[in-house]
Amino acid sequence: MNVLVIVESCFGNTAAIADAVAAGLRSAGAVATVSDAASAPPLASHDLVVIGAPTHNLGLPTPASRRQAVAHGGSAPATGVAEWLGGVGRLAIRVAAFDTAVPGAFSGSAAKKIATRARRLGATVSGRESFTVSGSPAVLTDGELDRARAWGASLAG
């Protein structure tokens, strides 16, 4: 199974989750490559695309929210997952989506937006997960990397 993990991250947490998801996929026998959304290779013989982003303003990062992240000490790519989805064309492939977010009923979810947009592009969405961060600057909640590895392994099935 050949998997491309596409990620955007401003403070490193979503990128760390992407690496853990890829490690989980590999532990279950998949070949998994992690790429920033801004420099993702074209889809080729991939069986699954796993797409992840930090939750910004209840959804996907935008140029404005990335600037806010930079103002708070983060770094931000010029383009991210929203732009990747905007440019990929038809996505006739299996997709799984994840995000990082602050826990809470009103946090919103970038993964939910990714799943909706991927479905509209023709994808079969077979997994969606949120991983939690807390504090400022945000850090992953204890246990989230383990949970990401387990989720990644489950996607290889």
In this chain, which of 2, 29, 41, 58 binds ligand FMN, going by CB under 6 A? 58
Least separation in angstroms between residue 141's CB and ligand FMN is 11
In this chain, which of 30, 32, 48, 100 binds ligand FMN, going by CB under 6 A? 100
3-state secondary structure the chain: CEEEEEECCCCCHHHHHHHHHHHHHHHCCCEEEEEEHHHCCCCCCCCEEEEEEECECCECCCHHHHHHHHHCCCCCCCCCHHHHHHHCCCCCCEEEEEEEECCCCCCCCHHHHHHHHHHHCCCEEEEEEEEEEECCCCEECCCHHHHHHHHHHHHCC
Give the range of 31-39, 55-63, 87-95, 112-120 binding ligand FMN by CB under 6 A: 55-63
Q: Which is nearer to ligand FMN, 56 or 117 (CB)?
A: 56
Q: Which is nearer to ligand FMN, 23 or 102 (CB)?
A: 102
Q: Which is nearer to ligand FMN, 110 or 125 (CB)?
A: 110
Number of chain positions touching ligand FMN (CB under 6 A): 24
- The answer to whether residues 81 and 60 touch, using CB atoms and an 8 Å cutoff, is yes
Helix axes 144-155, 13-27, angle to 10 degrees: 40
Give the range of 21-29, 35-43, 53-61, 121-129 binding ligand FMN by CB under 6 A: 53-61
Tell me if 130 contacts ligand FMN by CB under 6 A.
no
Site for ligand FMN, rule CB under 6 A = 9-15, 54-58, 65, 68-69, 72, 74, 100-102, 107-108, 133, 138
